[in-house]
Amino acid sequence: MPIIDSSLPGSWQDLQIYVANILSEIGLSVTVGQTVSTARGEIELDVMAIDETSLEKIRYIIECKNWEANIPQSVIHSFTTVMHETGGNIGFIIARNGFQSGAIEFVKYTNIKLYSYIEFETRYLNVWFQKYFLVQLGASNDSLLQYVEDIGSRRDRRVASLGIAEREMFKILVLQYKSFGMSMCMPGSMLYGKSQMNVPVNCSVFRNKINSKFPGIINLQSDSYRGILTELINVIENITLKFNCLFGRNIFYPELTDYILAKEKDA
């Protein structure tokens, strides 16, 4: 079963896009299908990624093989030439399934790595979770956190301007959602007692922990981390909307008022 994405790539183009998305989401500069000039002529690269933060601008050359059969050693030989002619520092061949034994043996002492797509997801799961999953979750949770955190002078001034009934409703909302809103800042700490964690390869472990922690608030169903992220963001947005509607707008980001009122009308 896939880990980050909800399904396996259906075509070689999908495989390129899936791989490119993950590398881009961890902070690499990525191009798909780029044509580069070499001494032997032009070569089209499936995926090229550059680590702009590294001193040497490390260049990854990635070839994607969405074959039913395992990849033979002859493919590795050809890719070695591509690596040499394009100035690649690290090469990946990512296959739908796997590789023949001769291919695996051939790359042992090279700068080429061989992964099935599931192995590729597994290798990058932790860094993707830290650099993308948590960043996206934190951004979506920003307003909710400011509504429920213990100290918030700006929020408290707004609350004081509400009527009696609205102030009581605000207290009820805070009581109901404070733990959830605070926890979404660092779900690793909430679930595992530490901010940096080894993310479970089986996302159902992570999903079930969150579900059991917040029954009645959340009921995640997704079988992938990308799906879980989408579900969590949707829940956070819906809870935040309750606070926004109480004040008639997002008190932290007033420019979102039209969007808030439109969502309230559609609800």
Report yes or no on 131 lying in a domain.
no
| Pairwise CA distance, residues 79 & 61, whole Å | 9
Residue 263 has pLDDT above 80, yes or no: no
Q: How many domains does the chain have?
A: 2
Report yes or no on 174 lying in a domain.
yes
Q: In this prediction, what percent of the chain has a pLDDT beyond 90?
A: 72
Q: What are phi and psi of 23, to 5 degrees?
A: -65, -40
Assess whether 148 and 259 both reside in one domain.
yes
Report yes or no on 66 lying in a domain.
yes
Q: What is the CATH number of the domain that holds 52?
A: 3.40.1350.10
Report yes or no on 2 lying in a domain.
no
Q: Which amino acid is at 229?
A: L
Residue where one domain finishes, among candidates 72, 92, 122: 122
Assess whether 145 and 262 both reside in one domain.
yes
pLDDT at 42: 86
Host domain of residue 26: 12-122
For helices 12-25 and 117-128, the axis angle rounded to 10 degrees is: 20
pTM for this model (two decimals): 0.89
Assess whether 49 and 76 both reside in one domain.
yes
Assess whether 86 and 162 both reside in one domain.
no
CB contact at 8 A, 183 and 144: no
Mean pLDDT of the chain: 90
Report yes or no on 128 lying in a domain.
no
Assess whether 166 and 235 both reside in one domain.
yes
pLDDT at 190: 62
Q: What is the CA radius of gyration of the chain?
A: 23
Helix or strand run (H / E) with residue 29: strand 29-38
pLDDT at 87: 87
Assess whether 161 and 85 both reside in one domain.
no
Assess whether 57 and 147 both reside in one domain.
no
Report yes or no on 54 lying in a domain.
yes
Assess whether 150 and 248 both reside in one domain.
yes
- Going by pLDDT thresholds of 50, 70 and 90, the confidence category of residue 37 is confident
Residue where one domain finishes, among candidates 58, 93, 122: 122
Report yes or no on 32 lying in a domain.
yes
Read off the pLDDT of residues 187-222 as tens digits, 9 standing for 90 and up. 766 666 655 668 899 999 999 999 999 999 999 999
Assess whether 112 and 189 both reside in one domain.
no
Read off the pLDDT of residues 124-178 as tens digits, 9 standing for 90 and up. 999 999 999 999 999 999 999 999 999 999 899 999 999 999 999 999 999 999 9
Structure tokens that stand for 94 in this block: 């990512």
Report yes or no on 61 lying in a domain.
yes
